[in-house]
Amino acid sequence: MPLRRTFLKNILAATAITSLSVRATSAKSLSAGRSETSQNGLTILFQGDSITDGNRTRNNDWNHVMGHGYAYTISSKLWYEHPDKGFHFLNRGVSGNQVMDLAQRWQADAIDLEPDWLSILVGINDTEAFIKGDTQRTVEHFETNYRALLKETKEKLPNVRLVLGEPFILPVGRVKDKWELYQLEVGKRQEVVKRLATEFKAIHVPFQSAFNEALAKAPAEYWIWDGIHPMPAGHELMARLWLEKTGAELGI
């Protein structure tokens, strides 16, 4: 029995060492790839709430690192079609985030990453908070804090290219139950995003109009399952519109 315990202990120790070595090698490989790619091409960072998050991993697992939403669709398409351009994509969306949440983690999750392009989609959680009774989350609060975030970004990353996606809804579930109120409040924040895009010379991505037009092809729940979070077809719609609005500057 002592010999067997010693044998098993040695096996476990060897396995642990091998596992640590593999993880270290993997991390170095990913780090090297990040550095090389950034030198040869553009780093594009996606930021926002759960729609951007897409259940992404919080580690270096490249099988899931971009999530499973529009950011994944965009990055996988461009990585596949343009390996010569050296694109590098990052996803730092966090489910549930409002614009103030972005501000609290902005240095580490945006500025320190030094992206060449920064795509932001935020606003639906701010809207919902107001509708549910948080009287501080007014449209004025949203605009003031969003503007401050963009101002900070341009001060610290003066050459970054901004892409601002507008929040969107369709009449499904709880959104349908209060449709007029949601339309009113989301509409106000859509106008803010459009205004800020003009002010900061950003690319504006009008997701709402694209979803509205899609209703001619299929009902609302085909595109957005709960009125807020897209179905797979909805994420594809978003990806195509994003690429349509950015393609000329990206050279694709």
Q: E strands along 125-167, which residues? A: 161-165
Given this model, what pLDDT does residue 60 score? 84
Q: Which residues are catalytic?
A: 50, 226, 229
For 139-145, what is the mean pLDDT?
A: 98
Is the confidence at residue 21, as pLDDT, over 80? no
Is the confidence at residue 11, as pLDDT, over 50? no
**Residue whose token pair is 């969306």:** 93
Q: How many whole angstroms separate alpha carbon 85 and alpha carbon 29? A: 20
Given this model, what pLDDT does residue 175 score? 98
Sign of the C-alpha dihedral computed for residues 192, 193, 198 and 200 taken in this order: positive
> Are 237 and 65 spatial neighbours (Cβ–Cβ below 8 Å)?
no
Q: Which pLDDT band holds residue 3 (cuts at 50, 70, 90)? A: very low
Q: How many whole angstroms separate alpha carbon 162 and alpha carbon 106? A: 15
Amino acid identity of residue 168, one-letter, is F
Is the confidence at residue 6, as pLDDT, over 70? no
Is the confidence at residue 158, as pLDDT, over 80? yes
Q: How many whole angstroms separate alpha carbon 103 and alpha carbon 97? A: 10
Q: Six-digit token pair at 159?
A: 């050459």
Q: Length of the chain in residues, anyone? A: 252
Q: Which pLDDT band holds residue 25 (cuts at 50, 70, 90)? A: very low
For 81-106, what is the mean pLDDT?
A: 97
For 117-143, what is the mean pLDDT?
A: 98
Is the confidence at residue 24, as pLDDT, over 80? no
